Structure 1
Amino acid sequence: MSGDALDLRPGQSVELLKELHILTREGRINQDSRRKLKQVLHLYGFIEKLLKELPDSDAGPTLADHGAGKSYLGFILYDLYFKQLGKGTIYGVETRAELVDKSRALAARLGFDRMKFLNISAAAASQDVALPDHIDVVTALHACDTATDDAIDFGLRKHARHLVLVPCCQAELAASLRQNKALALSRTPLAELWRHPLHTREMGSQLTNVLRCLYLEACGYQVTVTELVGWEHSMKNELILARWTGQRKRAPADRMRALLGEFGLEALEAIRYPALKLGS
């Protein structure tokens, strides 16, 4: 099968896609792998533009990919951008040791020597000495539940210029909504929005991402929310792009606190949004 038939980018390595098991050894692809490749290439298109905006430096750009999994995104970024650039480093952060070992072995086999893999959580990564003090771009593709919040915290601590987030399985806030449901139903008709269990989950997911966007704006980022790919390819489809402006804003912080109060979630501020107090 040709690269054109696969909708590959110019210069993209078919051999890499075989190593990642996106393609079979014969160069064939099934529907599930095609969807996965479409998602990653579409996300690459967003990230490539951000990388090109970065100021030039001798060391090149740095990118940290949280919840890297099998590092599809990292390897494709390196293959299509970092390899040709000849500088810059990608850090893959992943808690599953066996996936980290496989990624390290694959990077060594391909000669991708500026790919580094850390067997740690997103929460621990900001304190790890193996990572530099500044990271240009932070990504988190389907980092589950609060791992996305940990990636945001990492980005704030590392003074990231850009964050690229595709949240997944936002369960923490939904659990808090369920816990406070009886009180909320007696207090406000808005609680009807999460009275039924399915609505609780959906409301928790929506509210989680709204709060994340406000938090990033309060901390000095311009935020854009869009679709990653069509809903027919993935239900986890919300893409949050944050660009550093350097201007912290009080209004988003105030709206965040109002939302937390409206939903009885004030206790989450200290846990998930610690940087808010810096701008109070």
Structure 2
Amino acid sequence: MSGVREPDLRPGQSVELLKELHILTRDGKLNQDSRRKLKQVYHLHQFIDDLLRELPPSDEGPTVADHGAGKSYLGFILYDLTLKALGRGTVYGIETRAELVERSRALAQRLGFERMQFLAISAADAADAQQLPAAIDLVTALHACDTATDDAIAFALRKQARALVLVPCCQAEVAATLRQTKALSLARTPLAELWRHPLHTRELGSQLTNVLRCLYLEANGYQVTVTELVGWEHSLKNELILARRTGQRKRSAAQRLRALLAEFGLESLEPVRYPGLPADA
């Protein structure tokens, strides 16, 4: 176990917070696994910090909704490194497991992180929660499983979010739908060979899910960048989707999304996952 060395900790980083999150040991040291975890969180924080700095200044400061927050590693680091020094802005941690929400509330109180709030609620229900403001500047969803990422996107559209940072995980819904229509698709198009084998169904379903999500965001007025979340060496879920709202809805994106749904026999998903598509696209 090695001691903390520069540049392991960012300037201004609360050592007490890292101890509470069990990234540092009680005597302030890092082991190899903790060092990797810290590097991962810092890397994602940098993307979010850059997006927050692009926002127009306001008296209230930026608002961030972190979906599937878990133990709120990301939310705490973001508050500690960005919002604390800014003196304004709020992080809302959204997590279904009540025990994790209570733990995060207690930690925020101990550390004096007054502008952190935690809700024991699902991403699907969060848009109607009275505890959240009518508009949110930035929405994150880190490894939100399966359709929770879609729920976070729907939340962002309802809240007119200026930006999204998504690391999707365990996309199963599209693969399940592909399996249901496999026999018909095999008779209809040679493209169905892409998902004839179960392993390919899962892999293609995951790829297609994220492609559809990106098109949906573009159709709703966002500029989308897809890249790798480098630094997550231990995770196969390494796709990072960044979206900035421009307000310029891309008609072609909506048309291509519908074309892909038709090509892959996924039309049943449109009213469920893509209700915001314009009717005339």
Shorter-normalised TM range:
over 0.9
Matches for 1:70-219 after TM superposition, within 5 Å? 70-219=71-220
| Kept after mapping to 1: 8 A contact 2:4/2:28 | no
Seen in structure 2, the aligned counterparts of structure 1 residues 31 and 194 have a Cα distance that, compared at 3 Å, is: farther
Q: d(CA) in 1 for partners of 2:99 and 2:131?
A: 19
1:235 counterpart residue number: 236
2:49 counterpart residue number: 48
Structure 1 unmatched runs, 5+: none
The Cα of 1:38 is off from its aligned counterpart by 1.8
Task: Report SS of the residue matched to 1:142.
Answer: strand
Q: Percent identity?
A: 77
Provide the TM-score with structure 1 as the length reference.
0.96
Task: Report SS of the residue matched to 1:267.
Answer: helix
Task: Report SS of the residue matched to 1:240.
Answer: strand
Counterpart code for 2:220: C
Give the RMSD, CA atoms, in angstroms. 1.4
Q: d(CA) in 2 for partners of 1:203 and 1:35?
A: 30
| Kept after mapping to 2: 8 A contact 1:248/1:279 | no
Q: d(CA) in 1 for partners of 2:275 and 2:41?
A: 31
Q: d(CA) in 1 for partners of 2:29 and 2:133?
A: 39
| Kept after mapping to 2: 8 A contact 1:90/1:114 | yes
Provide the TM-score with structure 2 as the length reference.
0.96
2:275 counterpart residue number: 274
Structure 2 unmatched runs, 5+: none
Seen in structure 2, the aligned counterparts of structure 1 residues 164 and 245 have a Cα distance that, compared at 3 Å, is: same
The Cα of 1:198 is off from its aligned counterpart by 1.2
Q: d(CA) in 1 for partners of 2:99 and 2:135?
A: 27
Seen in structure 2, the aligned counterparts of structure 1 residues 92 and 263 have a Cα distance that, compared at 3 Å, is: same
| Kept after mapping to 2: 8 A contact 1:140/1:167 | yes
Q: Which runs of 4+ in 1 moved over 6 A?
A: none
Counterpart code for 2:90: T
Q: d(CA) in 2 for partners of 1:45 and 1:233?
A: 19
57-66 or 177-186: bigger deviation: 177-186
What is the total number of aligned residue pairs between the two structures?
280
Seen in structure 2, the aligned counterparts of structure 1 residues 82 and 267 have a Cα distance that, compared at 3 Å, is: same
Counterpart code for 1:152: I
2:16 counterpart residue number: 15
